[in-house]
Structure 1
Amino acid sequence: MSNKKHVLIMGGDARYIHVINLLADTTDMHLYLIGFDHLSFEKSNIKHTELENMNLSLLDAIILPVGGTDEKGKVEVTYSDKALFLTEQIISCTPEHCTIYTGTANHYLQHICTATKRTLVKIFERDDVAIYNSIPTAEGTLKLAMKATDETIHNANVCILGFGRVGKTVARLFDAVGANVTVVARNQADIARITEMGLTAVKLQNLNTIISEMTICVNTIPYPVIDEELISNMSSSTVIIDLASKPGGVDFSFAKKEGIQAIHALGLPGKTAPKTAGKIIASVLLESMNVSASSV
């Protein structure tokens, strides 16, 4: 009896090209691809398919893009012109042990997995994945900042909102290239750690007192924090880079009205370093599915 796993990969960005190749490197896996019509793969255990042709009862896992689905079940596809949706009916046709893998999950995706009693694994909730992903996120943020300003990052006043897994890495990188880094946090222990790192610590409630001095403002806080009042106190040349997931933490419409450049920088690992980001995702998937591959 074969112990090979049957895995359906539905959509994804450039990271998933590397995920597919790395998963296919193991002989213990058959991969079925939907949403990659524009690409070809040479490995014999990779097969392009369509949902209407797929025997869903074979599946041990479904792998979704890092963003999961939207609230109507639509799945992001980069390498196909066809719209792709994941529904409760589709999941219900899989075996009970079939696991759904995603980066993050909204209410819709969580609901259909709960309704069908299928396990949902949100890999971006893992600390190790978030920390590894913070590296290409930070590098991508630095790249955006360099492109958006007409001054060097060295000696620029840079404000980082939030001192979580992403905020720490972003703060370290901007400090390493010579920026004057101010980190905004609420937790007293974070304030102490920021100070220990040789950076300037400011409590969130005091952000308005220093925001006018900032050249670049990077937000990592996933709720509305850069509001009308804060934007009104910014210099017109300030650049805002929001790393928080949708809907973000910035009043983008008011920033536009005030003529302040605000960038909602989503999916930076996939844009900045898709190969590295793909390796991170693949290693977690292989570990979770109890499959080993020496190339990852």
Structure 2
Amino acid sequence: MYDIAILGGDIRQIYMAEQFRRQNLSIITYGLTHPMIQDVCAKGASMKETIQSSHILVSAIPFSKDGITIPALTSSSDMTISNFNASIRSEQVLFAGMISDKVRSYCHQCKVSFFDFMEDDSIAIANGIATAEGAIMEAINQSPTNLHKSHCLVLGFGRCAKTLAVKLKALDTIVTVAARKDSDRAMAEAFGFHAIPLNKLCDMLPHFTYIFNTIPALILDANLLSRVSKDAIIIDLASAPGGLDYKAAKAYGLHANLCLGIPGKVSPKASAQILTDKVMEHVMKRKKG
């Protein structure tokens, strides 16, 4: 009955609904309420009805934070993974982020295709830009000092870390990258950054005013945090529970911030357009087929 069904999510899914409508697609939503889509999108009476009214399903990033419920702006008792599993039918396709292995397995059983936004390189790179900008914004908001000429540490050198380091350098900061792999450190030095192994952090930590972590593992333990300056600002971009010992950070009186879902918070419209474009690729292929 509808071209696309949108199940839960955040403000990004609101913008996606509005962007789909501009493509003359019919949209039904569930778990989303916003003036932007109030008069242009149908509203499902239940999650089951919404799921079964479209071939294409678009949902949240992450698809579930607790493995039980699907995040939504308007909570409903039936917004659960179990209800989702019970409602899907063969030949549908799900677009969401960080889809769990259990959901993937059930989709396979039901012959439902799925596309994980967070596993697409083009999306990850674009999100890395928003994440880097948001991380710098958080650092500026948290600190009474300028970034200019400050000593910044970036932990890791993946896609997000590379973008972040480049943008920090463009703001005339002194950037050091700490990475485990020799190749990553060599690449960081080729970019013009200082580079150190992770096992050499202890001696260097007291010198940094800003610390940005992108590694999804416990890197800054209690021992390393004891070496961090009390004036330093720590911005943790790693997936929950983050890359540092927050209990120890609090005990040491450090300014540590776990900043998750930055693209959806600081640039939801631009982030939504990236996701919309990816779904539209599938829509156009389906129409041609």
Deviates further, 53-62 or 215-224: 53-62
Pair 1:33–1:58, CA change in 2 (3 A): closer
8 Å CA contact retained: 2:5, 2:53: no
1:21 matched residue in structure 2: 18
* 1:122 corresponds to 2:116: yes
1:269 matched residue in structure 2: 263
Pair 1:285–1:76, CA change in 2 (3 A): same
Q: In structure 2, what is the Cα distance between the partners aligned to 1:265 and 1:251? A: 15
2:254 matched residue in structure 1: 260
Q: In structure 2, what is the Cα distance between the partners aligned to 1:259 and 1:55? A: 48
2:27 matched residue in structure 1: 31
Q: In structure 1, what is the Cα distance between the partners aligned to 2:280 and 2:117? A: 12
Pair 1:146–1:90, CA change in 2 (3 A): closer
Q: Which has the higher helix share?
A: 2
Compute the displacement of 1:229 (Å): 1.2
2:8 matched residue in structure 1: 11
2:57 matched residue in structure 1: 62
8 Å CA contact retained: 1:73, 1:109: no
Q: What is the aligned-residue RMSD (CA, Å)?
A: 2.1
Q: In structure 2, what is the Cα distance between the partners aligned to 1:115 and 1:258? A: 50
Compute the displacement of 1:223 (Å): 1.2
1:239 matched residue in structure 2: 233
8 Å CA contact retained: 1:92, 1:116: no
8 Å CA contact retained: 1:9, 1:64: yes
- Of 80, 87, 97, the residue aligned with 2:81 is 87
Unaligned runs of at least 5 residues, structure 2: none
1:205 matched residue in structure 2: 199
Aligned identity (percent) is 26
Compute the displacement of 1:182 (Å): 0.4
Higher relative contact order, chain-length normalized (CA < 8 Å, sep 6+): 1
1:152 matched residue in structure 2: 146
* 1:196 corresponds to 2:190: yes
Q: In structure 2, what is the Cα distance between the partners aligned to 1:92 and 1:53? A: 8
Q: In structure 2, what is the Cα distance between the partners aligned to 1:200 and 1:142? A: 19
Compute the displacement of 1:60 (Å): 0.9
1:49 matched residue in structure 2: 44
* 1:77 corresponds to 2:72: yes
Supply the AA of the counterpart residue of 1:225. Answer: I
Q: In structure 2, what is the Cα distance between the partners aligned to 1:275 and 1:55? A: 24
Secondary structure of 1:248's counterpart equals coil
The 5 Å alignment of 1:91-106 reads 91-106=85-100
TM-score normalised over the length of structure 1: 0.89
Secondary structure of 2:94's counterpart equals strand
* 1:175 corresponds to 2:169: yes
Deviates further, 135-144 or 112-121: 112-121
Cα deviations by residue, 1:193-248 (Å, 9 ceiling, x for unpaired):
11111110111111112111111110000111111111011111111111111121
Pair 1:112–1:7, CA change in 2 (3 A): same
Compute the displacement of 1:43 (Å): 6.1
Pair 1:99–1:86, CA change in 2 (3 A): farther
Pair 1:177–1:266, CA change in 2 (3 A): same
Compute the displacement of 1:91 (Å): 3.3
Deviates further, 61-70 or 29-38: 29-38
Q: In structure 2, what is the Cα distance between the partners aligned to 1:15 and 1:242? A: 22
Secondary structure of 1:141's counterpart equals helix
8 Å CA contact retained: 1:87, 1:112: no
Supply the AA of the counterpart residue of 2:273. Answer: K
Q: How many residues align?
A: 286
Supply the AA of the counterpart residue of 2:245. Answer: D
Q: In structure 2, what is the Cα distance between the partners aligned to 1:146 and 1:286? A: 36
